Structure 1
Amino acid sequence: MMDRHDRRPAADPDLEKRRLQRVHLEDPDVYRPLSVGVESEYRTDLERLRFTPSFARLADVTQVVTPGATDGVVHNRLTHSIKVTVVARSIAIALLRSSPPERLSALGGLNHVVCQVAAIAHDLGHPPFGHLGERTLDRLARDEFGLADGFEGNAQTFRIITELEVHDIGTDGLNLTAASRAGVLKYPWGRFAVPDPHPTTWEERPRGAGRGIDGPGAGKFNAYVPDLGEMVSVIDLLGLEPGRQTLECAVMDLADDIAYSLHDLEDFHRSGVLQYSPIANEFRSWLRDRASLHLMASDELGRLGQIPGGSLERLRRRAEAKDRWVYDEELFAEAVRIIGADFIDDVLARPYDGSMDSDRSISAFVGRWLDELVASARLNEHGGARAPLVTVAPLAWHQILVLKFIHQQFVLERPDLAMVQRGQASVLKHLVHMLDEWLSDRLDGRRAPQRLLDLVEVAEQGYRRVRDEEPWLLGNVDTTAVARMARGRGIIDYVASLSDSQAYAYSTRLGTTGSGVLWASGAL
């Protein structure tokens, strides 16, 4: 039975058929009337994802703070994904209740179960050690194996659900509906190719299409070269405009932002990482000196380094330059004032001591802000490639920006975290090199883990197909280089599929010298 909250109109049954399309039709009645069939098909997708090993492993993949860093319970990628799912469902139901049905239909339709599917799946591609692992594997893929498109967590997620995970004999991928496959396409383009012209060349580039921190091409993208055809087929099937997310993907993207901005602060506060004095000084100094900071030239601001208020001013300037569709100077200042009073002076001023009072304080803050941010979600009427289809009220948008700034500025730059991450990067490098060496051993290579051998074979099939059908996507490379790329992709797929503890254990078995001991001791 159709969920009573799903009021998306069935004005275009052909569109719904396309959204329900699987790669292999398993049910001859897959196109039965919408009142009977839609929810069951999308819920099948949801349950397939929940039962995958890829989802289970997220319980042992670090969000940011490792479990040993605090006496309290902190988020991992699994708990984060579950909470994003709850937020995404809440946003979707609110939009279904408040938005004109014809508007939702014009934007391709909205289903709250598909939003949950997208949220459950969105972090499947995160490798061990989160974003640090992502950057490390990206460099290794490009430098060691000649994989121009390297590694990217969103592209890995799409590869997992369409190629690497399985649910039945004789199938590749989870065979999800087109709507669910499109739900994870936050950045629906390749690193260098598709669509043409590529978003990196657009006058107004979508979010994520700018150059990344390390390496050329789009900083964020959703498909590696062997998977571009699958991504294009989904986009074409649903009739999506180049560079555009589906509504369900936009809901998931916003839910991820909201959860990330609040739950990471909760973890950092409980772990004692966030210190009141430097954060309060930054906020108060910017509010006091904002007029003079605003007049300061960018090169002068950079030369002065970490002057109080300078980091918030740099954040304000980035928002002004990149997000003119929503940025407002007074709303930015109001967001700084509100968060300064509500979080810094009311919560952070009292150090977390593990007491019930401390738990009440941070839990009340998170719960109240979560409700307010979710309640402010709305369809975005602004045009432009950078503007998402679903957003929050302008003040809430600025508040999320400032909330995320706190942990980005006062946690991710900490030297003790950097030391832990250096050890983690060494573990991944060692693991990749040792697996490559093992596969190169003519006598012993066949005894490598069968999963690794399978993944290399899958990659070989993919790269051979591209070489034969679309060789321009690989550039001017010979057969030996293609084989090397295929092995590299298989190794990267294998390492990315490990949990944090598996990465340490496998690296140790292969002869690591002990890198990563700091991680095990919770050195944050």
Structure 2
Amino acid sequence: MVDHLRQRESRRDRGAGSADLAASPFRVDRDRIVASPFFARLGGVTQVVSASGSGLLHNRLTHSLKVAQVGRAIAERLVSDPDLAPLLEDLGGCDPDVVEAAAIAHDLGHPPFGHLGEQVLDRLARHRFGLPDGFEGNAQSFRIVTTTDTRGPLAAGLDLTAAVRAAMLKYPWTRLSHPAPHPRDLPDPPRGAAEPRDAPGTGSSKFSAYVTELDDLAQARVPFDGRVEQWQQTVEASVMDNADDIAYAIHDLEDFHRIGVLQHAPVSAELGQWEAERAEFAALDTAELSARQRKPGQSLETLRRRLHTRDSWMFDDDAFAAAVSRVRAELVDDLLAAPFDGSVAAEQAFGRFSSGWTARLVAGVHVVANPSTRSGHVLLGRRQWHEVQVLKFVHRRFVLLRPDLALHQRGQARLLTKLVEALEQWLGDRYEADRLPRRLHDLVELARVEYTDLAEHQPETLIGATGEATRGPAAVSSLAKGRAVIDFVASLTDAQAASLLEALSGRTGQFWSDAFVL
């Protein structure tokens, strides 16, 4: 790979006399990301559920650091293998510094209140403001490093290298329009590219760039033209993606055992019952399986069937059964067998589980020249892939689907909705136009320039699911205000979002000069 192509900037060359401390351009990227206020705010952003000041749960900052740690370990392992060097070179390279920088940056755009906040802001962006590409956390991260952060040498973005920007693109397409043909139309779409089953016509469920950053996406991918398909991750993005999966699968389970949410009995019953009645479950038709939805083992059998259908390129029944057995032995019968009590023995059990599983999963990562469309060029081994699926199942089934968590999240969804409505009303109040928060005002002006340019030169990018193009200054202004409100709210911490809504509702005791925004 020609280094100067991978290092090419989005808008300008870095000038002499820069204040950057590192010599390597990829280390410079890492330093700029770490220095960003968007990175600092991740310490106050929910990973799965709000830590509420307990200090016991991961937040988006500690999660990002773990992803960076795992990603760098994978990259160093791959580049140390001389047999892989020709393939890695052909695919565009694998630099541990690039992977680490992309991992640190990958959640910069994550909004308040975890994935719940992402879903709420997406609905509001599309249905309330008519933004064709809505909101997506990965795309918001890319928008921050290329557009809305101002800690680079000039006023827009961080001026990251092409390699790091490309490594952030886990889903290197926009929601609806780029590339053409769009990957959602492939016979077996890449992971995240397919449309949600309950929302046909809305575009890909996951994507890594808005149309406002389409030029940045295209420029970041230029060095990889002819090396990977337009819809494929770069090797470095694929490493980061696998590291994200590994960190998520392990540390979130630890968190919820630590605070007593993840209990031994129900997890043991689910996995043990499925193992004991594996053949009987497999013989049930869909209706019979649905009728037994409260019986332990039913949810795991539903997962097995879904993986068989969705990921037949990797799925294997025996590997799935072996993964269930390993998770039951090492998670259920070992880690969860005794309640966490803060003792040395309990902490040592966490250490064994975390380090052992991380090393095992990292050791299973390998590179293939011609992967399935469902995978990047870097992927977990078959056994490890099934184990991650089972670990993530335990997290979803016994944490994310809890009714008490749903109650908590409904309140957070209402909070974000009311906050967006209040800010929209403020933007529409001509008597208060001069007293808008300066950052919100700046975001409106930025988005107005972006959408005016798109409406003039690329109007097809502003056609949403309705098939109607955005026309006229009023429509462009409406899109700009909507994007600005979404950008503004997405830049808040959990606590800032709650405090700002209280202030706008007249119910706060916080002093008026206290800062709410970056």
Instruction: Determine if the TM-score, normalized by the shorter chain, exceeds 0.5.
Output: yes
Are 2:471 and 1:483 equivalent residues in the alignment?
no
Q: Kindly state the Cα deviation for residue 278 of structure 1 after the two structures are TM-superposed.
A: 1.1
SS in 2 for 1:118: helix
Partner of 1:305: 293
CA contact (8 A) 1:286 1:309 kept: yes
Distance 1:245 1:168 in 2: 26
Match of 1:123 among 107, 123, 128: 107
SS in 1 for 2:52: helix
SS in 1 for 2:294: coil
CA contact (8 A) 1:165 1:174 kept: yes
Distance 2:46 2:265 in 1: 27
Letter in 2 for 1:491: V
Match of 1:89 among 72, 83, 106: 72
CA contact (8 A) 2:92 2:223 kept: no
Q: Kindly state the Cα deviation for residue 252 of structure 1 after the two structures are TM-superposed.
A: 0.5
Distance 1:159 1:468 in 2: 21
Q: Which moved more, 1:418-427 or 1:225-234?
A: 225-234
Q: Kindly state the Cα deviation for residue 103 of structure 1 after the two structures are TM-superposed.
A: 1.1
Q: Kindly state the Cα deviation for residue 304 of structure 1 after the two structures are TM-superposed.
A: 2.8
SS in 1 for 2:296: coil
Cα distance per residue 1:305-364 (max 9 Å; x no partner): 232111111111121112222211101000000110111011111111222222221221
Distance 2:299 2:246 in 1: 22
CA contact (8 A) 2:249 2:391 kept: yes
Q: Kindly state the Cα deviation for residue 180 of structure 1 after the two structures are TM-superposed.
A: 0.7
Distance 1:174 1:38 in 2: 15
Match of 1:461 among 424, 433, 449: 449
Instruction: Give the share of equivalent positions with the same residue, in percent.
Output: 45
Match of 1:279 among 264, 267, 286: 267
Letter in 2 for 1:225: V
Are 2:325 and 1:337 equivalent residues in the alignment?
yes
Q: Kindly state the Cα deviation for residue 69 of structure 1 after the two structures are TM-superposed.
A: 8.1
Q: Please report the RMSD computed on the Cα atoms of aligned residues, expressed in angstroms.
A: 1.9
Distance 1:192 1:41 in 2: 33
Are 2:493 and 1:499 equivalent residues in the alignment?
yes
CA contact (8 A) 2:235 2:376 kept: no
Q: Cα–Cα, structure 1 residues 320 and 29, in superposed 2: closer, same or farther, change >3 Å?
A: farther
Q: Kindly state the Cα deviation for residue 472 of structure 1 after the two structures are TM-superposed.
A: 1.5
Q: Which moved more, 1:358-367 or 1:166-175?
A: 166-175
SS in 2 for 1:417: helix
Distance 1:149 1:512 in 2: 33
CA contact (8 A) 2:49 2:113 kept: no
Output aligned runs, 1:380-395, within 5 Å: 380-395=368-383
Q: Cα–Cα, structure 1 residues 439 and 68, in superposed 2: closer, same or farther, change >3 Å?
A: closer
Distance 1:168 1:117 in 2: 15
Q: Which moved more, 1:387-396 or 1:330-339?
A: 387-396
- Aligned residues between the structures: 494
Are 2:356 and 1:373 equivalent residues in the alignment?
no
Cα distance per residue 1:464-508 (max 9 Å; x no partner): 110010112213223222211110000000000001110011010
Q: Kindly state the Cα deviation for residue 218 of structure 1 after the two structures are TM-superposed.
A: 0.3
Output aligned runs, 1:412-451, within 5 Å: 412-451=400-439
Q: Cα–Cα, structure 1 residues 284 and 169, in superposed 2: closer, same or farther, change >3 Å?
A: closer
Partner of 2:503: 509
Are 2:160 and 1:156 equivalent residues in the alignment?
no
Partner of 1:519: none
Distance 1:278 1:344 in 2: 10
Match of 2:206 among 214, 217, 220: 220
Q: Kindly state the Cα deviation for residue 28 of structure 1 after the two structures are TM-superposed.
A: 7.2
Q: Cα–Cα, structure 1 residues 283 and 168, in superposed 2: closer, same or farther, change >3 Å?
A: closer
CA contact (8 A) 1:49 1:117 kept: yes
Are 2:8 and 1:21 equivalent residues in the alignment?
yes
* Length-normalised TM-score, structure 2: 0.92
* Length-normalised TM-score, structure 1: 0.91
CA contact (8 A) 1:325 1:387 kept: no
Distance 2:75 2:153 in 1: 34
Q: Which moved more, 1:177-186 or 1:302-311?
A: 302-311
Partner of 2:63: 80
Partner of 1:203: 187
Cα distance per residue 1:264-310 (max 9 Å; x no partner): 00101001001111111100111111112112222332233232111
Match of 2:220 among 207, 211, 234: 234
Partner of 1:520: none
